[in-house]
């Protein structure tokens, strides 16, 4: 994973950053969901949750857009192109089809997980909008559940993405293609900032 080309290495760095931010949010919310939590601890957790909300809305949304608008489409195209090659490779037909199916299924699963991440982010945002400055323990427990669920979804998602797509991808594309993907991702980033 250390020697991945850009922009894959950049996406992995973003995964580690998201993990760190969600981890910090979990620590803050855990401290704030005990029965005798002080006002200071709860206020701190609320600040962290608002920071998390802003990060999800901007940085994570941009990360997902770079994957859905640049990386996933070129991988789907690669699979379609390989479908044509398969016709001339009857001996390997079943094996090649099985691999294509795996990547295709993985891309569909990753797309669906992006939707789940957006749904959890929206739930956090909606909760924060009505929470007030000093929410009750029940409300804080609801936030804790949302952040835990988000953490859980993202852990599985990042692992699948890195193992099934990023790791084999250097064998699928040339250095010139990766440079073009990086350029397109910069464009996505600029259009969203």
Binding site for Fe ion (CB under 5 A): 67, 161
CB of 28 to Fe ion, least distance (A): 24
CB of 46 to Fe ion, least distance (A): 28
Concatenating the DSSP letter of every residue in the chain gives -TTPPTTHHHHHHHHHHHHHHHHHHHHHHHHHTSTT--HHHHHHHHHHHHHHHHHIIIIIHHHHHHIIIIIHHHHHHHHHHHHHHHTT-GGGHHHHHHHHHHHHHHHHHHHHHHHHHHHHHHHHHHHHHHH-SS--HHHHHHHHHHHHHHHHHHHHHHHHIIIIIITTGGGTS-HHHHHHHHHHHHHHHHHH-
CB of 188 to Fe ion, least distance (A): 13
Cβ closest to Fe ion, residue 34 vs residue 119: 119
Cβ closest to Fe ion, residue 19 vs residue 30: 19
Cβ closest to Fe ion, residue 143 vs residue 166: 166
Cβ closest to Fe ion, residue 53 vs residue 67: 67
CB of 134 to Fe ion, least distance (A): 35
């Amino acid at each position: 994973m250390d020697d991945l080309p850009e922009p894959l290495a950049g996406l992995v760095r973003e995964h580690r950053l998201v993990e760190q931010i969600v981890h910090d949010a979990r620590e803050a919310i855990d401290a704030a969901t005990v029965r005798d939590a002080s006002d200071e601890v709860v206020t701190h957790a609320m600040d962290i949750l608002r920071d998390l909300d802003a990060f999800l809305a901007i940085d994570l949304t941009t990360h997902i857009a770079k994957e859905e608008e640049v990386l996933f489409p070129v991988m789907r195209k690669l699979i379609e192109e390989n479908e044509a090659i398969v016709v001339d490779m009857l001996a390997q037909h079943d094996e090649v089809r099985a691999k294509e199916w795996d990547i295709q299924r993985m891309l569909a699963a990753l797309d669906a997980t992006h939707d789940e991440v957006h749904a959890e982010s929206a739930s956090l945002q909606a909760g924060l909008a009505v929470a007030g400055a000093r929410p009750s323990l029940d409300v804080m427990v609801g936030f804790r559940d949302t952040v835990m669920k988000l953490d859980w979804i993202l852990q599985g998602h990042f692992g699948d993405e890195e193992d099934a797509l990023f790791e084999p991808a250097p064998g699928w594309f040339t250095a010139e293609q990766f440079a073009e993907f990086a350029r397109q991702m910069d464009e996505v980033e600029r259009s969203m900032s």
